[in-house]
Amino acid sequence: MAVGFGDTSQDRRVRVLGEPVDSYPRLAPEVERGSVRRITVVGEEILRRPCREVTQFGTQELSQLVDDMFATNQVAEGAGLAANQVDVDLQLFVWDITDDWGVRHVGHIANPVLEEVPTEQRRLVEEPEGCLSVPGPYRVLPRLDRAVVRGRDKNGKALVIEGRGYFARCLQHETDHLYGHLYLDRLAQRERKAALREMAASKDEMLARRAALARKLGK
């Protein structure tokens, strides 16, 4: 079972799949093993439909996909990445993110389901949010400051991942992806159009930066 967020107030150890570890490398081992894949961008059909459930666990194919997603997320300087963002139709996402309290969270989850947060615990926080499939723009967006996601790891083991603040935002954002939703969908039409114009202006620069980081990592 994952360690709840309340346990992180004094314990600053890295959380891997929700569990604290005594030491962890700067680059996740998956990054070292993985290859960089092309990141899909808004307008591609795969980003607009619900993904298929993962039904086969413990396979080399699934392990390689997780590794590749970590490598791709690393060179794109992302906090998280969903499978349909590398053109794979599966309910799977990865994360490598440091939360508001300085705790690093690293992991992956298949077939994630967001738990309903009780009304008395619901608190919306408005903060900037971006997306690797919308390279460039960030927009202020309300999200719940607490999220709990249930699913399975690549070997089929049950997972419960809890996050607050920025990590909670990441869990919600990536789960949205797997149901065909982008953060742009939560914006007013005028704001959405402005973000797309900004993306068009910055896209080439962002892609060049990713390519340079990939070369630096030997990917």
pLDDT digits (tens, 9 = 90+) for 119-149: 888 899 999 999 999 999 999 999 999 999 9
Output the pTM of the full model.
0.93
Q: Which of 77, 174, 198, 205 is catalytic?
A: 174
pLDDT of residue 64 exceeding 70, the answer is: yes
Task: Provide the token pair at 188.
Answer: 């007013």
- Per-residue model confidence (pLDDT) at position 35: 97
- Residues 182, 42: contact at Cβ < 8 Å? yes
Taking alpha carbons only, the member of 30, 5, 31 closest to residue 20 is 5
- Residues 123, 28: contact at Cβ < 8 Å? no
The model's confidence at residue 153, banded by pLDDT at 50, 70 and 90, is: very high
Q: Is 174 a catalytic residue?
A: yes
Average pLDDT over the chain, rounded to an integer: 94
N-term to C-term CA, the chain: 34
Q: How far apart are CA 8 and CA 30, in angstroms?
A: 24
Q: How far apart are CA 118 and CA 65, in angstroms?
A: 34
Q: Give Cβ neighbours of residue 70 (< 8 Å, ≥ 6 apart).
A: 28, 30, 31, 34, 94, 96, 108
- Per-residue model confidence (pLDDT) at position 8: 45
Torsion of the alpha carbons at 115, 116, 117 and 119, rounded to the nearest 10: -170
